[in-house]
Amino acid sequence: MKQALVQLLEKSIQTGIGQGVLPPPSPTHIEVELTKDPGHGDYASNVAMILAAQAKKNPREVAKILSERIEDRDGLLDRVEIAGPGFLNFFIRKTGFASLLESVDRQGDRYGSSDQGQGRRVQIEYVSANPTGPLHIGHARGAVVGDVTANILEAVGYRVFREYYINDAGNQMNNLGKSLLLRYRELLGEKVEFPEGCYRGEYIRELAAELLKRDGDRHLQEKPEALVPLFTDYAAGAILEGIREDLRIFGCVFDRYFSERELYRDDGVGKLLRELEEKDFVYREGETLWFRTTAFGDEKDRVVVRQNGDPTYFAADIAYHQNKFQRGFESAIDIWGADHHGYIPRMSAAVQALGYEKEALKVVLVQLVNLLREGKPVAMSTRSGEFVTLREVVDEVGRDAARYNFLMRRSDSHLDFDLEVAKKQSNENPVYYVQYAHARICSILRIATERGYTVPTFDRADLSLLQLPEEIDLVKAITRFPEVLEGAARTLEPHRVTFYLNDLAALFHSYYNKNKVISEDGALTGARLFLSRSVLTVLQNALKILGVSAPEKM
């Protein structure tokens, strides 16, 4: 509907320009919006006021010129009014709305999708936690935001590739190996001291116990220099396996787990740095190599190879991002914790130095999560091993509630996650509100069937019977769904889908309480069943994108 109105306006502007009453060029972007106040019609546009500036005319006058030139061939409009400072208010014929449900019926589980992305290839990287311990609640938000953003992009026609970057080449890994070795020795009766930087979580002790059970004490016979790498590999492998399993249970499946070590194979990082040095993006200062990120607006240059010869994390990251684009992705999206925001300028600089557009890399920052229980903060610290794991959260509150809760805020806003509230199966927990609407419609359709009704086909349904304000509001809301997905994809804001779902569910609950879907009037029942099933379809499609189940009974 919106699109149809935009086209009507475009044509009328063209006509006006042709007749010389409006100056060229026509605006690139015409806005038509749903109105809040029924007195302002169903849709409204502000083009006249925008045109007025360049036409040097009174906005209301421009609005008049436009409205007189609108050719409504399909008979969508009841009337067009000029209001306020120069708004064009469109009043849609009551019968015009119902026809919008045709596309829901026709597209079914594809309703809402589009080809906005035109098959462009996008790589999205998220979670990417070091395999030094199990995922905790802080990682969970990034996981859901990444997963749902990917789902949204897929729905609007991008070819999306989901990736988890494993930092398995640095110092942290060494510490992990040492930590495991210490626990292993401890289990064999040695007294051990834990140096700074080692991990003391209970999970290390469990790994050590498993290793001991499997292999006995024979590892202590190894050569000392081989010992730590061996324990590192064992620990990282086992922990990563656990991470993958936790993510799978949480509904996050990746196309690839990309190992940092791969970047160092065949001296890949070294080669890249030499290339950049030839192009003068990298320079030497003694043994240290610096990346000239200031050339792209960073506040200071950054070290890529330390004085001791070790490459920094940043060096590997440059190589990783080059690798992304070399694999043919037109754009890359990184989902980071907000505490990494200072890293954006240098990463952006690196992408540009590699010869790619600045816009090719988009970074979404996800604010930290405050974990609460009954309003009181739960203390967490990875090093000391005190934390609530992702797995524990999912086990306690369930996957649906956990995912939905992480999508109830804008990503860059802090989020309080209260375990007790998320667990409650009550009105404090919005996920049930939406799921209940779904279950309720399923129930209506079941009972309709029992009473001998079937949902009519679009051709056989008399949708002109849907005249109530609540019915028209529902139709409007349904037609908004594709636009919501488009907007969520454009801005990378998955929370928009959640808020939309709440709105749609609210409209249906309200409608349901006020009106009977199933009645003695066969034609009316048919029309209302058709509407209800349209709502059901949208609820299902949207919940699927959120990775939340749509139960038929609760």
Residues paired with 159 in a beta bridge: 121
Residues paired with 415 in a beta bridge: 369
- Please say which residue, 211 or 455, places its beta carbon nearer to RNA: 455
Question: CB of 393: closest distance to RNA in angstroms?
Answer: 18
Tell which residue, 361, 387, 391, 379, has the closest CA to residue 296: 361
CA 247 to chain centre: 16
Do residues 209 and 188 touch, judged by C-beta distance below 8 A? no
Question: CB of 242: closest distance to RNA in angstroms?
Answer: 18
Question: CB of 317: closest distance to RNA in angstroms?
Answer: 9
Question: CB of 216: closest distance to RNA in angstroms?
Answer: 32
- Please say which residue, 164 or 184, places its beta carbon nearer to RNA: 164
Hey, which bits of 214-337 come out as E strands? 256-259, 282-285, 288-291, 302-305, 331-337
- Please say which residue, 66 or 211, places its beta carbon nearer to RNA: 66
- Please say which residue, 167 or 331, places its beta carbon nearer to RNA: 167
Burial of 233 (0-12, 13-18, 19+ CB in 10 A): middle
**What's the angle, vertex CA 412, arms to CA 316 and CA 132, rounded to 5?**
40
- Please say which residue, 384 or 443, places its beta carbon nearer to RNA: 443
CA 429 – CA 501 distance, rounded (Å): 14
- Please say which residue, 144 or 211, places its beta carbon nearer to RNA: 144
- Please say which residue, 221 or 426, places its beta carbon nearer to RNA: 426
Question: CB of 330: closest distance to RNA in angstroms?
Answer: 18
- Please say which residue, 246 or 486, places its beta carbon nearer to RNA: 486
Q: Are strands 282-285 and 288-291 parallel, antiparallel or unpaired?
A: antiparallel
Residues paired with 87 in a beta bridge: 83
- Please say which residue, 374 or 459, places its beta carbon nearer to RNA: 374
* DSSP code string of 147-162: HHHHHHHHHTT-EEEE
Do residues 291 and 351 touch, judged by C-beta distance below 8 A? no
**Distance between first and last Cα of the chain:** 35
* DSSP code string of 505-545: HHHHHHHHHHS-SS-S-HHHHHHHHHHHHHHHHHHHHHHHH
Question: CB of 190: closest distance to RNA in angstroms?
Answer: 28
Tell which residue, 336, 329, 415, has the closest CA to residue 143: 336
Question: CB of 87: closest distance to RNA in angstroms?
Answer: 4
**What's the angle, vertex CA 486, arms to CA 483 and CA 490, rounded to 5?**
140
Question: CB of 398: closest distance to RNA in angstroms?
Answer: 10
Q: What is the DSSP letter of 312?
A: P
CA 209 – CA 227 distance, rounded (Å): 17
- Please say which residue, 7 or 449, places its beta carbon nearer to RNA: 449
- Please say which residue, 457 or 515, places its beta carbon nearer to RNA: 515
Structure tokens at 333: 């999206």
- Please say which residue, 211 or 493, places its beta carbon nearer to RNA: 493
Question: CB of 441: closest distance to RNA in angstroms?
Answer: 9
CA 434 – CA 439 distance, rounded (Å): 9
SS3 state at 188:
coil
Query: Which residues are CB-neighbours of 209 under 8 A, at least 6 positions away?
Result: 187
Question: CB of 142: closest distance to RNA in angstroms?
Answer: 14
Inter-helix orientation angle 469-491/137-155, to 10°: 110
CA 380 – CA 389 distance, rounded (Å): 10
Question: CB of 369: closest distance to RNA in angstroms?
Answer: 10
- Please say which residue, 200 or 509, places its beta carbon nearer to RNA: 509
